[in-house]
Structure 1
Amino acid sequence: MKFSKPRILALSLLAAAVAAAALVPAELLAAQSKKVKKAAKAVVAKKAPGIDYTGEFVNFGQWKEVQQFLDDMVSKHGFERKELDAMLQQVRYVDAAVQLVKPAPPGKPKNWHAYSSRFIEPIRINAGVAFWNQHRDTLARAESQYGVPAEVIVGILGVETIYGRDTGRFRVMDVLTTLAFAYPLAPNREARMAFFRSELEATLLYARSTGSDPFALLGSYAGAVGLPQFMPGNIAKYAVDFDGDGKVDLRNSPGDAIGSVAAFLVGHGWQREQAGPLVYTARVSPSRAWEAYVNQGLEAKYRREDLSTAGVVTTSSLPEGMLYGLVDLQNGSDPTEYWVGTPNFYAITQYNRSYFYAMSVVELGRAVSLSRKEL
């Protein structure tokens, strides 16, 4: 089926999203430098190119795959078919979402320093200090109840939305429908479409259970919602009413966001009893026997003796009785950084399946904590 796409600068979309959320590069310990502050002001002053959040109407109801999805919603969950058909008439195709989920061009090297500089910067650090100070009691209660340090929760909320400053302006129904049935060509296209269909299903169930309008739910270009950017399926599984007002509101309640992040991490393997750092700096030997431990999944599954025998040396001693994993952070043409990750570090990777993401959470949380102590 042919249809026209909105007039957008597709290649500029990703840059626009990064410019809006990432801001200015800076090393963690250079946060207070005049040069960084001056650069931050310059970036903030720039206006990002427009993004088409509304999209255009496409008659998804004529698509065979959509018809099958609606049939499943009726048979599995008892939805009224007429209501679903009417709802589908409101859905719009959002080409911006399609462009933004496209993978990076092949051959472009990963660069940890470039990635992390988008998050470990003055705007997020200062906002994190203010957020922590304002919600210190709630963060302390979450740490006590779930065993997740405030530093980690603050790191996640800072990386995700700068503490609620940018929770997304796309209608979740639009982007999830678009990605569930019109995902761009990619090696994992079928798996990704299946994922977004499950999230669309979760959105409809969530709206029905809460008596809310599914089209009132706003989020990111991938359908993530609120301060913690939960996908709809995770709202049902892990979101909690942590402020005690009788409802879960991840978009407007920092308390619910704080408790829900902690609950998510516990549900993905966070260990309360784990003491010490989340990651340990490491060196690797020229023998390269350690290469067998790289890219072995987002899971801590090796004994410290295994890593040591393979030539991985940490700058401080690893606690006994725990499993670990070898984390490689590529830096483009510069040397790769190596770290040894704990089970709790790998719990963070379940929030976003990336070493870069998890390390940014760790570093931002640490930077915010240090800044609070300096005040």
Structure 2
Amino acid sequence: MKLTSLLLALAVSASPLSQAAPAKKPGKKSVPSKPRAIGKAALPVAAAAATAAAASEAGDAPVFSESEAVNAFADEVALRHGFPRAELAELIGQIRYIDTAVQLVKPAPKGKPKNWQNYRRATIEPIRIRAGVAFWNQHAAVLARAQAEYGVPAEIIVGIIGVETIYGRQTGRFRVLDVLATLAFAYPEAPNRAARMAFFKGELENALVLARKSNIDPLSMLGSFAGAIGMPQFMPGSVLAYGVDYDNNGSIDLRGSAVDAIGSVASFLVQHGWQAKQQGPLVYPAAVSGQGSWENLLNQGLAARLRAEDLRAGGVTTGLDLPANQRFGLIDLPNGSDPTEYRIATDNFFAITQYNRSYFYAMSVIELGRAIRLSRTGQPLAQMETL
């Protein structure tokens, strides 16, 4: 049985909440054949929700099956991975342009300045905390195993899954192939357009490989407006590179297996610089002196490069003792018209920023995980946790 088209999925975790694609009447109707994994036995038809979310949007939308660039891409993918070219053509015929994805990846218009405290209030809130306690209680043994094997604290894993999808409640309803194809071949004008298109082409290819490896219908994969998948919102390439079959059932399922999600988040962090032996808090409170050269210590990249003496010399102080054998970074947390907050960050803080390249994101993961732990155990904050 033939397939139909290939393409359209994208995933950026810049927003902690996935958004659903509004369904509109497609400009051209087609009757798809029953889907299956490419080159594998037929699989059940994707859920009705996927069909609705994947409907092409009104207007002069690109037709991917008629695109020379898309067909050249399909030729390359078929050659590299041994996909039957005719089946790729069938699949490409079913992929639809998603204008919502294009609109959401455009730079936000200049408006209100960034505000950490507003971001914090929107993320560290009762719904996530209650759901996090329930998730931790349900998967306590698995979280303890991941902490022991990877050295990543349970509260950090819980914090990431909570910020990303509220423990699987908001994983996204876009067809991954649709959004990846849209962003790979119809990315909006931007200074980094070529680099972003290349990234999404790679993720589109990864999505096809992942679907075949998992023996699933590639059109059944649902995710965020950027193509991120499952409870931890991994891009397809991250699933292939860092995903873990932590429940040992023979497959990596980040959509349906919380156990796999837990192991995969820990695996990702370790492979992005998490240091299990690092002691002390992930971030320290910081104050900056108007007389110092502390501004030169900001924006040193997403890595801990500074020694404790570098911070002191720059006029950065903290109420806690900094380990002499560690490196640090100085980060700023703007609060709009209110005073900016500062933190001294460690390697493990920066490992979290590899998941999402945002100080706000990493801080929200740390503080949500901590709030869930405290709510679950009733223990007071330790001195080093008071920021």
Please give the TM-score of this superposition, normalised by the length of structure 2.
0.83
Q: 1:195 is aligned with what amino acid? A: F
Quick check: 55-64 or 363-372, which moved more? Answer: 55-64
1:61 Cα deviation after fit: 2.4
Q: 1:217 is aligned with what amino acid? A: M
1:25 is matched with none
Is 1:275–2:279 an aligned residue pair? yes
1:215 is matched with 219
Counterparts of residues 27-46 of structure 1 (less than 5 Å): none
1:107 Cα deviation after fit: 5.2
Q: Which 5+ residue runs of structure 2 have no aligned equivalent?
A: 1-13, 24-52, 380-387
2:195 is matched with 191
2:30 is matched with none
Q: 1:86 is aligned with what amino acid? A: E
2:103 is matched with 99
1:346 paired residue among 350, 365, 376: 350
**Which whole-Å deviations, capped at 9, do the CAs of 1:174-206 have from their partners, x for residues lacking one?**
000001111112221111111111100100111
| Alpha-carbon contact 1:55-1:95 (below 8 Å) kept | no
2:135 is matched with 131
1:163 is matched with 167
Q: 2:340 is aligned with what amino acid? A: T
Q: 1:51 is aligned with what amino acid? A: P
2:290 is matched with 286
SS across alignment from 1:319: coil
**Which whole-Å deviations, capped at 9, do the CAs of 1:60-85 have from their partners, x for residues lacking one?**
12223212211221232222221211
2:89 is matched with 85
| Alpha-carbon contact 2:21-2:174 (below 8 Å) kept | no
Q: Which 5+ residue runs of structure 1 have no aligned equivalent?
A: 1-16, 23-47
1:333 paired residue among 330, 337, 347: 337
| Alpha-carbon contact 1:177-1:197 (below 8 Å) kept | yes
- 2-structure distance, mates of 1:104, 1:324: 31
- 2-structure distance, mates of 1:254, 1:328: 33
1:3 is matched with none
1:235 is matched with 239
2:254 paired residue among 245, 250, 257: 250
Q: 2:162 is aligned with what amino acid? A: G
**Which whole-Å deviations, capped at 9, do the CAs of 1:15-59 have from their partners, x for residues lacking one?**
xx98x949xxxxxxxxxxxxxxxxxxxxxxxxx998333241742
Counterparts of residues 117-156 of structure 1 (less than 5 Å): 117-156=121-160
Summarize the Cα distance change of 1:50–1:182 in structure 2 as closer, same or farther, 3 Å threshold: closer
1:54 is matched with 54
Is 1:295–2:266 an aligned residue pair? no
Q: Which aligned runs of 4 or more in structure 1 are off by greater than 4 angstroms?
A: none
- 2-structure distance, mates of 1:55, 1:307: 54
1:11 is matched with none
How many residues end up aligned between the 2 structures?
333
Summarize the Cα distance change of 1:66–1:288 in structure 2 as closer, same or farther, 3 Å threshold: farther
2:48 is matched with none
| Alpha-carbon contact 1:129-1:372 (below 8 Å) kept | yes
SS across alignment from 1:123: helix
Is 1:304–2:275 an aligned residue pair? no
| Alpha-carbon contact 1:164-1:227 (below 8 Å) kept | yes
| Alpha-carbon contact 1:290-1:312 (below 8 Å) kept | yes
- Structure with the higher helix share, 1 or 2: 1
1:175 is matched with 179
| Alpha-carbon contact 2:172-2:223 (below 8 Å) kept | yes
1:271 Cα deviation after fit: 0.3
SS across alignment from 2:123: coil
SS across alignment from 1:93: coil
| Alpha-carbon contact 2:54-2:174 (below 8 Å) kept | yes
SS across alignment from 1:92: coil
- 2-structure distance, mates of 1:139, 1:330: 33
Relative contact order, higher structure (CA 8 A, sep 6+):
2
Please give the TM-score of this superposition, normalised by the length of structure 1.
0.85
1:43 is matched with none
Quick check: 291-300 or 338-347, which moved more? Answer: 291-300
1:288 Cα deviation after fit: 4.5
- 1-structure distance, mates of 2:20, 2:129: 25
Is 1:113–2:117 an aligned residue pair? yes
SS across alignment from 1:51: coil
- 2-structure distance, mates of 1:194, 1:315: 46
**Which whole-Å deviations, capped at 9, do the CAs of 1:66-112 have from their partners, x for residues lacking one?**
12211221232222221211110000111111111111113541111
